[in-house]
Amino acid sequence: MPWKETFVYEERMKFVVAWKQGGWTLSDLCREFNISRVTGYKYLERYNLFGLDGLKDRSKKPKRHPKTIRKKIIDLIINERRDHPTWGARKLLASLQARIHMIKEWPAPSTVGRILKDKGFISEPKKRRPKQTPVIHFSHVLGPNDVWCVDFKGHFTVGDGMRCTPLTITDAYSRFLIGCEIVPKANTVSVMSVFEHLFIEFGLPDAIRSDNGTPFASISLAGLTKLSVWWLKLGIRLERIEPGKPQQNGRHERMHRTLKQETALPARSSLEEQQRAFDEFKMEYNFVRPHEALKNKFPSEYYRKSNRKFPNSIPIASYPTNIMLSEVNDLGNIHCEGHRVFLSSALSDEVVGLEEISDRHLRIIFHNAALGVIDTHTGKVLQYKNPMLFSIPSDS
């Protein structure tokens, strides 16, 4: 005959039934069930209050936890999130820690995230496809103004039906948002006007990184445009990402995502209101919003104006005596070894240098940039994808 199984819950029910049937003193009944009188009184009282449910095991979870987050801290987190609806747990926590020093122990970012989720501020994120191509890190960005990044944030329509085309410029090292301006048109005149004001205020960068769209680049020699020629004349190197690979300018593209969330969802009622929103965002992005890549400090703490001042007049290029000079006509052509060679209309009325690098090849130099190579036998031009930095040798 198998052993009969019994459970604590059943034993408690038997204890209560026996007591209800009578004929027992509590001491004898407790001795029969091998429990103390305190335990016997406890379960009889629970039965009288809750019925059979009172005989079940209760949760051993403590009523209060020593690590429970204080309501004051939770309220601070919620209020900060309401002020900055697009900020995540780490950024909210960093902002609170930077401003409120009375609280010594703050919850972990994971705890802040759980609080936001419990309060309905965070929804499940959309799953993204993993990137197939790695992000290219530009190792030469070692300080402020080494590289400025420029691009147009995709155009959209504001409330009164006007088209909004924002031009954005950031410093690649500090993530400092240098400019976010609505331009009438995405053309050379509008962009040059914005850059001239920024150059006067912040100085000149060593290089400017852009995509291959107008007015930053073209399909002509070395992708030159009137705008990029102007930058070269100011001694600024040109850097262009590969077509279809915005991740090579990932820092700037990530800023665009935040800019859209904060200022264009929804768009403002007019261009004036939209520009005001951009200006407010720029101040917050540079001076208020912690940046994780900067150890939760602000871009303004890392950025310094350039020591290279914007000149009163455009410098004239000087070349060594071993480099021949050739003037580009108004159509973008030069005459070389009996050939009429087309360079670029962006170079019209400029002077280029021609450096002999072999018996039949001349390298085309413009200021400190090498643009391509001319085959003197055929008059054909082999252009460089990007203007290459050219070190002008001394005459000695």
Q: Encode pLDDT of 186-229 as tens digits.
A: 899 999 999 999 999 999 999 999 999 999 998 888 889 999 99
Alpha-helix runs per DSSP H in the chain: 8-21, 26-32, 37-50, 71-83, 89-99, 109-118, 188-202, 226-233, 250-263, 271-287
Q: What is the CATH number of domain 147-301?
A: 3.30.420.10
Element (H, E) at 131: none
pTM greater than the 0.75 cutoff: no
Q: How many CA atoms does the CB half-sphere of 319 hold within 13 Å? A: 20
Residue 116 has pLDDT above 80, yes or no: yes
The CATH architecture of the domain made up of 71-118 is: Orthogonal Bundle (1.10)
Q: pLDDT, tens digit, for every residue of 266-295?
A: 999 999 999 999 999 999 999 999 998 898
Helix (H, G, I), strand (E, B) or coil at 291: strand
For residue 313, give the 3-state DSSP assignment.
coil
Write out pLDDT tens, residues 305-335.
999 999 999 888 888 888 899 999 999 999 9
